[in-house]
Each structure stands twice: as C-alpha cells, then as structure tokens.
Chains A and B, each alone.
Chain A
C-alpha cells in the first residue's frame, strides 16, 4: 500500500514538472530569441566600427590606377632588379598586417557576444532546472550592454578620417593647381570641392550609422538583462510584450536622425544601471567603466 502511495506522489510530481515545462519552455524560448537578437545587433555594430577603423587606415586606391602607376615606375626607374620587382609586386599589401591586427581585435570583442548567445541555446530544453544558471548570465548581459554604450560614446568623442580618400583629394588638388588654363582649373577645382563635401557627408554618415547600431544593440542587451531579472515574475504574455516593444523601439532607432541626443539618453541608462541598487549588487564597480 505504502509503495502505491509513493508511486502516486512521484507520478504527480513528474506530471506537474511536465506541465510546468510547457510554460517555462515558451519563456525560455523568448529569452533565447532575445539573446540571439542581441548578438545579431551587436555583431553588426562591431562590424561597422571595424570597417570605420579600416577606412581610417586604408592606403589610397583608385580603380584601374595600378597598371598606369607601375608603367610610370618602369619608365622612370633605371635598372629593375629582383628586389625592386618584389617591391612593385607586393606594394599593394602595404598596411595589410595592421588591418589584420585590427580585424582580430574586433573579432575577439564579437566573440563575447557569440558566447553570450550560446549560453541560451539549450535553455528551452532545461527551462525548469536551469533557471539559477541563467540568473548568473544577467551580469554579462549588463556588461555587454554597457560595452555597446561605451563604443557609441567612443565614436561620438573621437575623430575618424577616411585617410585614403582624403589623400586622393589632396593629390587631385595638387594636380588641378598645375593646370595653366584658368577656366579648366576652376572647373577641376569645383569638381574637387564637390567630392570634399561628399566625403564629409560619407564620413559623418558612417559614424552616425555606427553609433545608432551600437544603441540598437544596447537596447537589445537591456531587454535580455530585464528578461533574465524578471523571468520568474513575468507571464509569457508580458515577456512577449516586452520583446515586441523593444523590437519596435529598435526599428525606431534605425529611423532616428539625431544620434547624439539618443546617445545622451543611453548614457543616462548607463548611469541608472550604475546607481540602481539591484544592478549594483550584481556588478562590481570595477567591471563598469
């Protein structure tokens, strides 16, 4: 008789476990999805910053110029020996090692966001037993979010020039100034003026887009941190509601033209995180910049 009761209670316990698993799995799926969105937005932001760095380090290059330049070298230079030929053949690779180093640094930063997303891959399958483990990921969600705000701040604070393109403009100005015909010279200089304005626009646009992308990622990261924090208390409907409102806010950021004022708002988010007693308890001050 006692054995039958034990079996009955065990059966009930497992039945409850299976019932709970359904609801928890949906919530776990929602967190998994939010973590994936965070990684996607953060990776895009890091790639944009990486690209800005490369543009600031690139050597000038104009389509189809290489053969003409080499022909000019051959004509001007006396004897071409093996060393000179090797130099000519390898000259296009100038700065490549530096570019590679920059790419590796950004890849390392990106890796943190991949690693964060991977944490949640099997969470829906273990949603009932893994809640405590997931709570430990909250600190990392906040740090990775603040990191994105810091990157946006870096972009706002520091000048990044498209050096290769600026060099080409200076070359063209020098060439145009040598033209004897005044009308032709003015015409050339006017075209160069247009390309200066265009370059200014492109530099500013690339920077602004990178700032906005960092803020989109920060918003996605903030969502993950909040979902982890409120995992127990939120219903699946509330959880999905939070995701929906964040996604629509991210879409709004994409169309927002004022990156600087938006960044100010996020800097206040960072301050709020630092000052909030709840977050403060999770994060040690030395982790947050």
Chain B
C-alpha cells in the first residue's frame, strides 16, 4: 500500500469513528461537533478528488479545441449541403439542355 492509499485508509477510518461519536452524542454536543464533522468529510473528499484528478488528462484547452473541431465539421456539413443543392440544380438544368 503506498502512502496515499494508507492516508486514504486512515482518513476513512477517522470519518467512521467521528460519525459513530457524533451520532451517539447529545443534541448540544452534536451542534458543537457539526463544523468539525463537515470539515472532515470535506477534507476526505478533497483528498480523494486530488488523487483521481491525477488521472485526468483533458484540460480546458482540450475542451476548447474540441469545440473548434466541432465548428469546423459543422461548417463542412453546411458546405456539402450547398454543393449538393448545386448538383441537383445542375442535374435539373442538364435534363433541359
């Protein structure tokens, strides 16, 4: 188990222990504990997200580039539509020549 995996395991255990303690506490104690509970859940999520994001290789620039490619293809589709319309017109004229 590498260091990150070990850390994640420990944080998960801490969340479980904190949840048990929280739920067995009286109302006023829970009111005092709530910010810490929220913070622990948030830190645990951030840690998990940081690790999974190491595997994310698409960037904002990639998304923009994909958008540009789409526009280029849309334009080609429009141009081909126009060419096909011209072809139909020519074919029609050819029958009349």
Contact = CB atoms under 8 A, between A and B. Distances in A.
Contact of A130 (B41, B77, B86): B77
Contacts of A76: 26-27
A10 B77 contact: no
A60 B19 contact: yes
Contacts of B24: 171, 174
Given A88-B27, A115-B63, A153-B55, A163 B49 contact: no
A161 B28 CA distance: 29
Interface string B51-91: 11111111000110111011011111111110110110011
A289 B81 CA distance: 41
- SS of B interface (majority): helix
Nearest to A161: B12
Interface in A137-192: 137, 140, 143-144, 146-147, 150-151, 153-154, 157-161, 163-164, 166-167, 170-171, 174
A84 B5 CA distance: 39
Contacts of B26: 73, 76-77
Contacts of B87: 14-15, 17-18
A264 B29 CA distance: 49
Given A49-B52, A101-B45, A105-B49, A133 B69 contact: yes
Interface string B36-48: 0110011011001
A60 B23 contact: yes
Interface string A85-123: 001100100110110011001000101100110111111
B31 A87 contact: yes
B31 A98 contact: no
A120 B74 CA distance: 9
A82 B75 CA distance: 62
Nearest to B66: A115
Interface residues of B, number: 59
A120 B73 contact: yes
Nearest to A135: B69
Given A56-B48, A122-B77, A157-B2, A112 B63 contact: yes
A199 to B, nearest CB: 12
Nearest to B43: A98
Contacts, number: 188
Nearest to B75: A126
B12 A56 contact: yes
A73 B76 CA distance: 67
A136 interface: yes
B9 to A, nearest CB: 5
A140 B62 contact: yes
A288 B84 CA distance: 41
Contacts of B54: 150, 154, 289
A159 B16 contact: no
Interface string A185-229: 000000000000000000000000000000000000000000000
Nearest to B87: A14
A1 interface: no
A77 B15 contact: no
A200 B3 CA distance: 23
A94 B63 contact: no
Given A77-B26, A143-B57, A164 B19 contact: yes
Interface of B: 2, 4-5, 8-9, 12-13, 15-16, 19-20, 23-24, 26-28, 30-31, 34, 37-38, 41-42, 44-45, 48-49, 51-58, 62-63, 65-67, 69-70, 72-81, 83-84, 86-87, 90-91, 94
What 9 A-B pairs come out closest when comparing CB atoms? Answer: A150-B55, A126-B76, A126-B77, A130-B76, A125-B77, A129-B76, A133-B72, A167-B19, A122-B77
